Chain A
Amino acid sequence: MSIYQRFSAQELDILRSRAQSAARSAQEDESKDLLTALVVMAGQEGYALPIEAVANVYEGVSITPIPCVPPFVSGVANIRGHIILALDLAALLGIPDQAKPETATLTVLANSEFAVALQVSSIRGIESFSASDLAAVPANIGLAHSAYVGGILPDGAVLLNVDAILSDPKLIVGADPISP
């Protein structure tokens, strides 16, 4: 579903290939591999989402909660006429309960299979960094969801592996349907 996206799939492909060629030329010039990410806040912590993984950002969205679901499900929102599921990034990452604002900031993920958005505390901005600056995650800090983490940026923001999050079977609610 991509109607609510700013760009069509084709346009996105063009943009991505442009970004890649731009990144390549930067690499040639500075012999660095440039990555661009949308940095969002979950509570006090900064998390970087690869720009390719983000379809759009919406602020001031009102969320309808869903009863009887795990805490990482924020609820559903109407995004441009579509009912989109919103997941709470902080709860997904095991960050202690955040105060829930009246309206939410959502980053809709560019996922072709199903539409899903991450609810974040705020948006810090788009940042570029070189892949060589990306630090590996220290094994001893005991991140609860190390599979979700792609590395740590120089400023301490954690780069998230969006594919790993979305393909986590733990996220599927009611995977074993109640058989009548």
Chain B
Amino acid sequence: MTPQQDDLFQDLLHTFQFEAADHLEVLNKALLRLERTTDKKQRDDLLQEAFRAAHNLKGAARIVNVHDIEGLAHALESVLHQAQLGRAELDPAACDVLYATLDAVKHLLNGQDVTLESVHAKLAAIGGEASSAESQIAVQLPMSILEPTVPSDDMIRVAVSKLDNLTAQSSELAISKISAAQHLSDIEGIRRQLVDLPGTWREIKALLPRVNGAVGQQLLDVLTRQQEQLQTLARDIDLLHQSINRDNVYLGIVANRIQSEVRRVRMVPFQTMVLTLERVVRDAARSEEKQVAPLTVEGSEIELDKKVLEALKDSLIHLLRNAVSHGIENTTARLAAGKPAEGHITITIQQHGSEASIVIGDDGHGFDLDALRQKSASNGGEVLDEHANVDEIIGLAFLPGLTTANSVTAIAGRGVGLDVVHQCVEALHGRIVVDSVAGQGASIQLLVPVSLAMTRGLLVRIGTERYMLPLLSVEKILEPGHSFTVEGKRMITIDEKPCLLVSLAAVLGRSTGNIEPGEMLTVVLRVAEQRVALLVEDVLTDQEFAVKPLSKLLRQVPNVTGAALLGNGQPVIVLNAADLIRSARGVPRIDSSTNDQKPNGQSSKHGPQDTCILVVDDSITTRTLEKNILQASGYTVITAIDGKEALQQLHEHKVALVVSDVQMPNMDGFALTRYLRDSSDYAHLPVILVTSVDSRDGREQGLLAGANAYIVKRGFDQAELLSIIGKLL
């Protein structure tokens, strides 16, 4: 093949991938409907539609020599043909095979490996012919059947990367608009300078008669000429100003229009994902052997940014699988509870301004709160008493690192991938609201921005500086009110729950103006199930902005997402709500008497990022949790799974402090501490022992071994750990 031919073939393959994806969609949709309908006419139509898609898939695959897909499509086609003739029945088991075949084709399209033999074996069992490569198809197709299954008129397919480019360019346009407005004000400045011209001219005319004779006359002539030139110049500048002003207004209108049109182009209806989700529910119900009605989706016409939708896809799949496998009870239990035999799962999408709400609801038995509570406590996480409300307990399930998938699923029966959902929604600057009624079902609401191109933000002020908070994460703004102190930490009550209160200036390590904390406004941030109340000096406005990365040099700045240009051209820093919530926990306490708090970020010269902490724990959950807490406070963290590996790490890295578990295989925390104290190199290395053993013996043994501090996991508290580390370093 010549290079040109190769290029052509590559293009063809690319086209085939798109086309094949369309056929797969038609097949999936038809099968899902086939499974639900009993109407003879409808069944025949759907079979015909599916058959046509399988046939076209085969033809397209043959053109590009993708024989694996061609073979699968042929087998699919023959099964469907048998069904059309009434010789085969498409029961759920047969449908499983057909779906598996569609998935195999999808995997092949994505370049993944597929064990074709097993797929073919299953297909053969339900009447699928093995190969079409040699044997010509027995089925003779009428011409009408060969029409494309997807109408192609008035539609073109555009690569997302092209749209991304367009979006980037349209934001540049918005920025040029600001820049043009600045030029306009520059010209206004020049005009202002020219305002003085007539005055100066009067002065000159008043002085000139005093100059003698001929020279005076000559000077008057020259200056008059100059005055005329200047007047022409002033007039020209006036005209220029007018036309630039006109152009600017026009540019502004067009730029806004282009931006909103580009944004609209990127928007796709939720409907585009419904098929995938229907399959998820159907497949999960089959594999869990539960009776679940087909997924109901309301508001699927609502459009979201393609990126938002893509980002949500995995989370929605997780949540739907969870709803089927852990939410919906088995038929016996449902009937016993007086519920209909079939479980119902719904997705409801609503749009409120620039925010979309996606609610995944089921009529199962709800979250198992007791189990979650127990699991959290035994995991060394937060201990919640019986007074803790539903939100708080369910919030535990979403905490990353704290409740890992396996541990929670096994006991609480809920939680697979919930931390993944949490992270995903957090990345979109959205939030999660969970509702659960024992015995009646659960609903999980995801609140996400409709579009990522422009976001709404709340502009706040601390001292002389202004910062933008993503509006989606702002739950409410409160007037100065009553606060109280718990263990040195200031709290306020929001919705009858205590919430940590810190000053934004303290979190960011900035200085505040001369304002009493009691006079500050409180902005409550909420990301997923976590909240913090931030004190700011003023809330200025809310507005749309396009966030830009700071610079390639600043890859990751704690608490900062990027920067945006305000209407006046002034850059403003856009803060990261999830980071702020994490950082706020690291701010030890609010001291109302001083304004200059110890910065929590990395602004001091010897920032914590220079400080390496070794975390030793055989539990990956605890290890990850501690690592996350310490990293969020800016420390560099390395980990080891037992005392032995810890010693190795100590030889290889310069470690400033060790946080270690007590019970570990190979070499436990006590042995590690004793070893360190006896060695000349590490005799003074601070060691903090963290343990679930809360006994006087353990404490004494730990301190005897030479540990600097001993923390009991049950009372494990991030702020406590951080504050002890702060004291030891």
Contacts and interface: CB of A to CB of B under 8 A. Distances in A.
Interface in B542-560: 548, 550-560
B565 A69 contact: no
B92 interface: no
B570 A78 contact: yes
A124 interface: no
A58 interface: no
Interface residues of A, number: 35
A70 B602 contact: yes
B599 interface: yes
B400 A180 contact: yes
Contacts of A180: 400, 423, 628
A174 B552 contact: no
Contacts of A114: 551-553
Given A64-B563, A83-B550, A116-B551, A69 B556 contact: no
B571 A64 contact: yes
Contact of A172 (B182, B555, B572, B605): B555
A67 B562 CA distance: 11
A180 B625 CA distance: 10
B611 interface: no
B465 interface: yes
Contacts of A75: 571
A67 B176 contact: no
A68 B602 contact: yes
A65 B464 CA distance: 11
Contacts, number: 114
Contacts of A177: 555-556
A173 interface: yes
User: Which one of B558, B559, B628, B636 has the highest number of Cβ atoms from chain A below 10 Å of its Cβ?
Assistant: B558
Given A83-B548, A83-B571, A68 B560 contact: yes
Given A67-B573, A172-B555, A174-B557, A83 B509 contact: no
Given A83-B548, A85-B553, A180-B628, A68 B559 contact: yes
A114 B552 CA distance: 7
Contacts of A68: 508-509, 557-560, 599-603
Contacts of B569: 78, 81
Contacts of B256: none
Interface string A69-98: 111010111101111110100000000000
A83 to B, nearest CB: 5
B528 to A, nearest CB: 13
A3 B175 CA distance: 12
B632 interface: yes
A79 to B, nearest CB: 9
Interface string A156-174: 0000000000000001111
B623 interface: no
B636 A176 contact: yes
Question: Interface size class for chain B?
Answer: 35 or more
Please classify the interface of chain A as helix (H, G, I), strand (E, B), loop, or mixed, using the class held by over half of its residues. Answer: loop
A83 B563 contact: yes
A81 B554 contact: no
B124 to A, nearest CB: 46
Given A69-B603, A71-B603, A83-B548, A173 B571 contact: no
Contacts of B334: none
User: Which one of A85, A116, A175 has the highest number of Cβ atoms from chain B below 10 Å of its Cβ?
Assistant: A85
B605 A66 contact: no
Contacts of B281: none
Nearest to B466: A64
A171 B632 CA distance: 20
B179 interface: yes
A178 B603 contact: no
14 contacts: A62-B570, A64-B570, A67-B510, A67-B573, A69-B603, A78-B565, A78-B569, A81-B179, A81-B182, A84-B551, A115-B551, A178-B556, A180-B423, A180-B628
Given A68-B599, A78-B178, 16 more contacts: A64-B465, A64-B570, A66-B554, A66-B560, A67-B601, A68-B602, A68-B603, A69-B601, A69-B603, A76-B550, A81-B179, A115-B551, A171-B553, A173-B553, A179-B631, A180-B423
Interface of A: 62, 64-71, 73, 75-78, 80-85, 87, 113-116, 171-180
7 interchain residue pairs of minimum CB distance: A68-B601, A174-B556, A81-B179, A85-B551, A67-B508, A114-B552, A81-B175
